[in-house]
Amino acid sequence: MEDSVPMSAIVTLSDVKKDYPLGKLTVRALKGIDLTISTGEFTTIAGPSGSGKTTLLNLVGCVDVATEGVVTVAGQETGKLSDRELTKLRLHKLGFIFQSFNLIPVLDMFQNVEFPLLLQGGMTKAERHKRVRDIVDRVGLTDQLRQRPNELSGGQRQRVAIARALVTKPQIVLADEPTANLDSATGSSIIDLMKEMNEQDQTTFIFSTHDPHVMERAGRIVKLVDGLVVAG
Amino acid sequence: MGILFQIAVRNLIAAKRRSAMLGSALAAVTLLLVVLLSLSQGITDNMIRSATALSSGHVNVAGFFKMSATQSAPIVSDAPRIREIVKENVPGAVHVNARHRGWGKLVSESGSLQAGFNGIVLAEEPLFSEVVQLAKESEYKEGGRDEVIGDLSGLSQPGSVLIFASQAKRLEVGVGDALTITTETLRGNRNTTDVTVVAIGRDMGFLSNWSVFLPRETILDLYGLKPETTGSVQIFLEDEAQSEATMAHLRGVLEAEGFILMEHQAVPFWAKFENVNNEDWTGQKLDLTTWEDEVSYLTWVVRGLDTISFFLIAILVFIIAVGIMNTMVISVRERTREIGTLRAVGMPRVKVLWMILIEALVLGAVASSVGALAGAALCLGIDAAAVEVPSDAVRVILLSDTLHLVVVPRQIATAIVVFTAITGLASLVPAFRASRLQPITAMQSI
Ligand SMILES: Nc1ncnc2c1ncn2[C@@H]1O[C@H](COP(=O)(O)OP(=O)(O)OP(=O)(O)O)[C@@H](O)[C@H]1O
Ligand SMILES: [Mg+2]
């Protein structure tokens, strides 16, 4: 089946450069990245600390814009979009998994997962609840529906975050070091879960990691060194 | 929006200490405001009640009669006709009576004092009997009995007088004692008559200090007046708010009937003598006033209290607004990453703005409601407890022996709405800042 699905580009970067102001200097974090990621890929961005992994993911995640070059996400050139349009793009096409989970502490697990659907609007309560229950089932947390984030373990929190990222059925899920705050066994189960979601829904996953064990599981490894792609 | 409300409320609960501190400060100021408003309303109420019982109707048709260019008397020469006109043209009147006016000296064996005389027909003064309360003997006489002596009905007999407790003290008289009244008549003759004290009323502040009440016949005799004269025709309305309008209407009617009217001046009748005496006319002119005009020399009390209250509350509100602003700024700063996350997962700026505003509005609404309701309860409690006013001077100003507070629900509602709105306004800046937070802040992991 994999071979019969036409592979279309969902993310493209061409000659992307990113500068950060640092006092009077500027730091060039990305120095001309050319990269194409196709629908359904399970890609990891690897590289030493400071190589630009986070910077790259931020650009793809539409939370930052390139200094030079063109970033296209889900068919839209992000450099040309307003804040409002970028917000909409993030809400409807992207899902985020954060290193420190970033759940809303005052909402329980169910509400955290439901939240992006409420922002999207247009669903009945029943539809919404079914969607939340299904995804919570899939990440294996059916018994913790009413627990607040601080009552969950790190691994459980990251599962909630995965559910939140996937509940809107986004085209791309981005994760910057999703396992960095987890022990290796838990981290490994999180990657398994992500992989499972990727295979079942053809959702594109792009994540960064330092962990060689995690890297092994990726379908594709894009290696960054000093702001440039050196492999993948 | 439901979820934003939940987030807001839960964040307030999560920051218990901060919310409680800010909330209690806001509640305390609301409480203070409600108490001050109720006190102001209570004084106003006392004023209307005492003024309309002792010295004025809601609308009065009084007048001056000048025998010569320099001599005037507070007299309306054809009272029956005016009462007729009022009856036909003021459908909102629930009651009409007439009173004579005079000024002179009360003399007892041990003292004397100046007072304004009110000549009344007791039978046509239901409000008077209701409002004037009689003092216990002990209230004006050393070692007096702890009970009321005499009663109002004595005022229907000629040659009687009702005075007030503080006057009784000064004159050293009690019920049953005789007083001599001296006055000047219209023609400038000195006239004297003896009267018996039939009742002694409780003091009612300013208004009772300068007034005594006599049967109408006694005044007619004293001044040698014809029975169809009076001092003032007092009109009581179903709705006191209609006083101004009724006066304006009556002015038109009376002018059309051929009466000559003085220009309206918002001061009591006794403040007009000097002007009238300096004017170059003789005969009758009518002077219409409202109850507010007749107590205008007292309204500074309420105005003063209101002004002080306004500045006090304004300063406190300003301090609290700054507090709210700071607190919300801190609260937003603490939640930078959380808000960044919300933005990253697709929350639009305007919703972030609302989220913070709702948080402030909920705090403001809850705190000011609690404060306002506690204030209302406190006012009702104080009013019911009939707390004695300790200082004589304050009694005179408050027109009452006891603290009187009137809770007006509309004022309570307004206080809550205004304070909630102020909380919202104070948090506009932090809310706006929050809405400008970049989604990238969600990625910064610490
Ligand atoms: N906000 C910023 N201001 C200034 N310089 C920055 C900023 N963010 C990143 N940089 C710089 O850009 C370069 C790339 O950083 P980036 O965070 O993308 O690397 P990384 O590969 O994610 O590193 P790590 O593995 O440590 O997370 C580094 O030299 C970093 O110091
Ligand atoms: Mg990084």
- Per-domain residue ranges of chain B: 2-49+298-445, 57-294
* Cα separations in angstroms, B63 against B79, B90, B253: 10, 19, 16
Helices (H) and strands (E) in chain A, counts: 7, 10
B296 burial level (CB within 10 Å; 0-12, 13-18, 19+)? middle
* Number of alpha carbons in the 13 Å side-chain half-sphere of residue B3: 20
Query: Is the CB of residue B96 less than 8 Å from the CB of residue B161?
Result: no
SS (H, E, C) B383-400: HHHCCECCCHHHHHHHCC
CA of A53 to the centre of ligand 2 (A): 6
Statement: residue A1 has pLDDT above 60: no
Q: Over the stretch B183-213, which tens digit does the pLDDT of each residue have?
A: 876 666 788 999 999 999 988 877 788 899 9
- H or E stretch covering B219: helix B216-223
Closest CA to A41 of A167, A218, A229, A228: A218
- Closest Cα of chain A to B305: distance in Å? 46
CB of A47 shorter than 6 A to ligand 1: yes
Q: Which residue has the tokens 């909102």?
A: B92
* Helix, coil or strand: residue A231: strand
* Cα separations in angstroms, B251 against A131, A182, B74, B92: 77, 90, 18, 16
Closest CA to B177 of B152, B159, B157, B195: B195
Residues 6+ apart with CB under 8 A from B280: B69
- When pLDDT is cut at 50, 70 and 90, the band that residue B2 belongs to is confident
Sign for the CA dihedral angle at B134, B135, B141, B145 comes to positive
- Closest Cα of chain B to A164: distance in Å? 9
> What is the reported pLDDT for A54?
94
> What is the reported pLDDT for B226?
92
Q: What is the mean pLDDT of residues B255-267?
A: 94
Pick from A123-127, A148-152, B244-248, B386-390: least confident: B386-390
SS (H, E, C) A122-162: CCCHHHHHHHHHHHHHHCCCHHHCCCCHHHCCHHHHHHHHH
Statement: residue B446 has pLDDT above 60: no
- When pLDDT is cut at 50, 70 and 90, the band that residue A5 belongs to is very low
Q: Over the stretch B395-432, which tens digit does the pLDDT of each residue have?
A: 777 777 788 899 999 999 999 999 999 999 999 999 99
CB of A51 shorter than 6 A to ligand 1: yes
Kindly give the interhelix angle for B409-426 and B299-334, rounded to the nearest 10 degrees: 40
Residues 6+ apart with CB under 8 A from B117: B100, B101, B102, B103, B104, B181, B183, B212, B213, B214, B219, B222
Sign for the CA dihedral angle at B234, B239, B242, B246 comes to negative
- Residues on chain A touching B347 (C-beta within 8 angstroms): 87, 91, 119
Query: Nearest ligand to the C-alpha of residue A210?
Result: 1
- When pLDDT is cut at 50, 70 and 90, the band that residue B445 belongs to is low
- Spell out which chain A residues touch chain B, with contact meaning CB-CB distance below 8 angstroms: 54, 57-58, 61, 63-64, 83-84, 87-88, 90-92, 94, 96, 98-100, 102, 104-107, 111, 114-116, 118-120, 164, 176-177, 180
Query: Nearest ligand to the C-alpha of residue A223?
Result: 1
Amino acid occupying residue A155: G
Statement: residue A2 has pLDDT above 90: no
Q: How many C-beta atoms lie closer than 10 Å to residue A54's C-beta? A: 22
Q: Over the stretch B116-159, which tens digit does the pLDDT of each residue have?
A: 999 999 998 888 888 888 999 998 998 889 999 888 999 999 99
- Closest Cα of chain B to A102: distance in Å? 7
Spatial distance between the Cα atoms of B180 and B52, rounded to a whole number of angstroms: 28
Structure tokens at B96: 């009409």
CB of A119 shorter than 6 A to ligand 1: no
- When pLDDT is cut at 50, 70 and 90, the band that residue A3 belongs to is very low
- H or E stretch covering A188: helix A184-201
Query: Is the CB of residue B330 less than 8 Å from the CB of residue B434?
Result: no
Q: Over the stretch B79-101, which tens digit does the pLDDT of each residue have?
A: 999 999 999 999 999 999 999 99
* Cα separations in angstroms, A122 against A167, A168, B1, B394: 14, 12, 14, 65
Q: What is the mean pLDDT of residues A72-82?
A: 95
Nearest CA in chain B to A176: B443
CA of A23 to the centre of ligand 1 (A): 15
- When pLDDT is cut at 50, 70 and 90, the band that residue B1 belongs to is low
Statement: residue A135 has pLDDT above 80: yes
Q: What is the mean pLDDT of residues B50-56?
A: 83
Spatial distance between the Cα atoms of B22 and B422, rounded to a whole number of angstroms: 13
CA of B368 to the centre of ligand 2 (A): 47
Spatial distance between the Cα atoms of B246 and B237, rounded to a whole number of angstroms: 9
Structure tokens at B216: 């109408």
- With a pLDDT cut of 90, the percent of chain B lying above it is 70
Closest CA to B276 of B71, B138, B136: B71
- Closest Cα of chain B to A163: distance in Å? 13
Kindly give the interhelix angle for B2-14 and B349-385, rounded to the nearest 10 degrees: 60
> What is the reported pLDDT for B244?
94
Query: Is the CB of residue B187 less than 8 Å from the CB of residue B67?
Result: yes
Q: Over the stretch A25-56, which tens digit does the pLDDT of each residue have?
A: 999 999 999 999 999 999 999 999 999 999 99
Query: Is the CB of residue B251 less than 8 Å from the CB of residue B298?
Result: no
> What is the reported pLDDT for A49?
92
Angle at CA B92, nearest 5°, toward B89 and B96?
75
B236 burial level (CB within 10 Å; 0-12, 13-18, 19+)? buried
- ipTM exceeding 0.85? yes
Query: Is the CB of residue B150 less than 8 Å from the CB of residue B200?
Result: yes
In angstroms, how far is the first alpha carbon of chain A from the final one? Answer: 23
> What is the reported pLDDT for B311?
94
Mean model confidence pLDDT for chain B: 91
> What is the reported pLDDT for B63?
94
> What is the reported pLDDT for B443?
79
Q: Which atom of ligand 1 is nearest to the CA of A227?
A: 14
Question: What global pTM score does this model have?
Answer: 0.80
Cβ density class A95-119: b for 16+ within 10 Å, e for less: bbbbbbbbbbebbbbbbbbbbbbeb
Q: What is the dihedral of CA B109, B112, B117, B120, to 10 degrees?
A: -30
> What is the reported pLDDT for A27?
93
* Helix, coil or strand: residue A1: coil
- Residues on chain A touching B3 (C-beta within 8 angstroms): 107, 111, 114-115, 118
- With a pLDDT cut of 90, the percent of chain A lying above it is 81
Q: Over the stretch B7-50, which tens digit does the pLDDT of each residue have?
A: 999 999 999 999 999 999 999 999 999 999 999 999 888 887 88
Pick from A77-91, B289-303, B385-399: least confident: B385-399
CB of A151 shorter than 6 A to ligand 1: no
Pick from A163-167, B170-174, B180-184: least confident: B180-184
Spatial distance between the Cα atoms of B423 and B368, rounded to a whole number of angstroms: 10
Q: What is the mean pLDDT of residues A173-196?
A: 91
Statement: residue A4 has pLDDT above 70: no
